[in-house]
Amino acid sequence: MKKIIKNYWLLFTVTAIIIAADQFTKAIIRNNIPFGTSWMPLDWLAPYFRFVHWRNTGAAFGFFQGGGLIFGILAFFVTGFIIYYYPQIPKDQKLMRVAMAMQMGGALGNLIDRLRGDTGFLSGAVLDFISVGDFAVFNIADSSITIGVGLLILSMWVADRKEKTKNETTEGENSDGTKIVDSET
């Protein structure tokens, strides 16, 4: 049990925080803004930012409308993959671990909506509420998935750079770490 907690504590902690924040903010919108209407906290923000009560039956940011069931099933597979793969990520790659947790938290946050559904059980709809300019309406879970993917790409790039630097510094050394001396100079 200690091994499981040690391997997964960061994953489950970050995932739980994201799900809680996502569901809490969606409950506020559900209870205070009627469907299809919007609220602007500050009038001068009106052209740039507002909260809306909207349903999305597609992927993040409104892509692939009507695919709620497919994205619900996909969320199960993504979660299973992350739980399986997570312990294989080296412990020193915290950025990659956080990225995976953010993706899992976002996937599960939206999955809860798809299963419960504002328009009925298993409706496949997700509540979106953040509207910025002319960009698609989104929620905390969508943001978490997007930031998680960005962090995953960044962490892979950082790991690749470290590996290249390590390989460059080990060139010219014997297997025991001693320098190879070119006798022609």
Are 99 and 149 in contact by the 8 Å Cβ rule? The answer is: yes
Catalytic residue numbers? 128, 142
User: Mean per-residue pLDDT for 167-174?
Assistant: 66
pLDDT 10s digits, 86-100? 999 988 889 999 999
Q: Under a CB-based contact definition with an 8 Å cutoff, are residues 139 and 128 in contact?
A: yes
More confident residue, 25 or 160: 25
Q: Based on the number of CB atoms within 10 Å of its own CB, is 52 exposed (0-12), middle (13-18) or buried (19 or more)?
A: middle
The pTM of this model reads: 0.79
What pLDDT score does 79 carry? 93
Cross-strand bridge partners of residue 50: 131
More confident residue, 17 or 173: 17
The predicted structure's pLDDT at residue 7: 80
